[in-house]
Amino acid sequence: MQGLMMDMPLLISDLIRHADRHHGSAEIVSRTVEGGMHRYTYRQAHARARRLANALKRLGVAPPERVATLGWNGFRHFEIYYAVAGSGAVIHTINPRLFQEQIVYMANHAEDKAVFFDLTFAPLVEKIAPQLKSVRHFVAMTDRAHMPKERVPNLLCYEELLEAESDELDWPSFDERTAACLCYTSGTTGNPKGSLYSHRSTLLHAYGAALPDSFGLMARDVVLPVVPMFHVNAWGIPYSAALTGSKLVFPGPHLDGKSLYELFETEGVTMSAGVPTVWLGVLNYMRENKLRFSTLTRTLIGGSACPPAMIRTLQEDYGVEVRHGWGMTEMSPLGTVSRLKAKHKDLDKEAKYALQNKVGFPIFGVDTRIVNENGEELPRDGKAFGDLQVRGPWVIREYFKGEGGNPLKKDESGQGWFPTGDVVTIDPDGYVQITDRSKDVIKSGGEWISSIHLENIAIAHPGILEAAVIGVQHPKWDERPIVVAVKRPGHEVSKEELLKFYEGKIAKWWMPDDVVFVAELPHTATGKLSKLTLRQQLKDYRLKAER
């Protein structure tokens, strides 16, 4: 017997329709690329998204064609999100920080038919346009007065496109499993691979991400996603905010500490989200200028390990609750968020921090397990390390165009699990602790040493700004950890001092064998430490024992 409830597909256009109908006057505020602020409401955003959908139709962009963006977080990018997916086409958000060859590769691989770009990226578009074989239209996301001087073929002006259309449009209805958004992984090894989200997966993720133990979004929130809309859809915030009717604040290209701090204050931001490096900038600026937050109450930090020292500083010195989260492009991206449970109410402060430093328990929809190298499941005892596998309705089944074959691993019952490439422990309460990415794990004398754990200790030293721990060859132990660190400006710290700082905090055999100070550490296009590049930079480094 079937249930007798309405059978309505879960479609992205319903999010913006809902926000318009029930939160129509909630604001969307953007710092623009052209300069100055732009403000309007969900109602106006929806009207303009419908105009853009009509323009796409006129341009001949039809489902399931791909429309690419090279854009910052801003209102036009938000309209493109809804217009493209709402029409049944696929929005392909390109990370402009990637190498040019990778961008060209992705646009060709996705067979993008149109490219919408912010003015910042006009020089880039001019350079790559001749190589983008499938692109028929380039659209500058600006008005006539600001059109770029660069020579770009078939160049259109965003505002002119919209002016020429009416906002009359009924969003089409179709199968909720239809593709909606395409995001490529950064491809630290090999070519980037595409994760193709559906309307259904995007909506379920939007619900999951909005839950109280995730972003915890409410209609009275003011949300500023620092995480870019070209990095896994700003972790789904443009969808979750429409779902809950929260006011949105987009920072545009200005992601430095000063600009972000000012925007938090002037717009009354209550909730934010971003990678740890962004918060370094904000905290440094606030420290130097002795500033406080007046409205920000919480932030989700993830994408790479959030240093425990940062969690403590934000909470104790600035009154901002940190939600440490974990996820990946292949998971839309949210998987787990670290919040306390009722049973943890009376734990002492340090025990609470120990839980917060983990990446938390899964959001309903995501299931987790750990396996050893033979694919056998390991216990959830908080001690056994294993490869983390996940499954759920917003977890990838297969990469775009079947790249890399079937990525899933089957369990005994035949169900498929996606191997995340992370090495973790899971405790009996479901809390996941990331030890390493499997390719960063340090194997010493047959045992594993967690580079993340060692990095966190180094960063807790007042003289250290940033640190990476990598394994280097050792004649006896295979590999030993070394710390590569950047000193905090104005602070002196020696190798001996830093190593002393580790004493009593780790097992003796985890003690790094050396410290190398550098002026800066390499980062990936998503702002994470690039250990691959670092290992290349240090390829001539030898431990004393090896020399």
Judged by CB under 6 A, the residue of 466, 526, 530, 535 near ligand ADP is 526
Cβ closest to ligand ADP, residue 74 vs residue 335: 335
Q: Distance between CA atoms of 440 and 452, rounded to whole angstroms?
A: 9
Number of chain residues interacting with ligand ADP (CB under 6 A): 23
Judged by CB under 6 A, the residue of 74, 88, 245, 302 near ligand ADP is 302
What is the per-residue DSSP string for 176-245?
TTSEEEEEE---SSSS--EEEEEHHHHHHHHHHHHSTTTT---TT-EEEE-S-TTTHHHHTHHHHHHHHT
Judged by CB under 6 A, the residue of 329, 389, 444, 451 near ligand ADP is 329
Cβ closest to ligand ADP, residue 43 vs residue 523: 523
Determine the number of helices (DSSP H) and then strands (DSSP E) in the chain: 17, 26
Our finding on whether 102 is near ligand ADP (CB under 6 A) is no
By DSSP bridging, strand 112-117 and strand 137-140 are parallel
The number of CA neighbours under 13 Å toward the Cβ of 141 is: 27
Both structure tokens of 299: 């932030």
Our finding on whether 186 is near ligand ADP (CB under 6 A) is yes
Judged by CB under 6 A, the residue of 165, 221, 422, 513 near ligand ADP is 422
Show contacts with ligand ADP in window 114-143 (CB under 6 A). none
Q: Distance between CA atoms of 352 and 347, rounded to whole angstroms?
A: 6
Stretch of 62-70, 72-80, 208-216, 416-424 lying at the interface with ligand ADP (CB under 6 A): 416-424
Stretch of 54-62, 121-129, 321-329, 504-512 lying at the interface with ligand ADP (CB under 6 A): 321-329
Angle of helix 237-244 relative to helix 199-210, nearest 10 degrees? 70
- Annotated catalytic residues are 185, 330, 443, 448
By DSSP bridging, strand 247-250 and strand 222-225 are parallel
126 Cβ neighbours under 8 A, 6+ residues apart? 150, 151, 152
Q: Euclidean distance between the first and final Cα of the chain, in Å?
A: 74
Cβ closest to ligand ADP, residue 296 vs residue 301: 301
Judged by CB under 6 A, the residue of 68, 206, 226, 434 near ligand ADP is 434
Stretch of 160-168, 216-224, 376-384, 523-531 lying at the interface with ligand ADP (CB under 6 A): 523-531
Judged by CB under 6 A, the residue of 304, 332, 444, 456 near ligand ADP is 304
Cβ closest to ligand ADP, residue 448 vs residue 541: 448
Name beta bridge partners: 5.
none
Burial 91-129 (b: 16+ CB within 10 A, else e): bbbbbbbbeeebbbbbbebbebbbbbbbbbbbeebbebb
Q: What is the dihedral of CA 422, 424, 430, 431, to 10 degrees?
A: -100
DSSP state of 324: E
Our finding on whether 328 is near ligand ADP (CB under 6 A) is yes
Judged by CB under 6 A, the residue of 185, 202, 389, 425 near ligand ADP is 185
Stretch of 324-332, 407-415, 475-483, 496-504 lying at the interface with ligand ADP (CB under 6 A): 324-332
Site string for ligand ADP, 346-385 (x = CB under 6 A): -------------x--------------------------
Cis (ω within 30 of 0) for the bond into 9? no
- Site residues, ligand ADP (CB under 6 A): 185-186, 188, 302-306, 324-326, 328-329, 333, 359, 420-422, 434, 437, 524, 526, 528
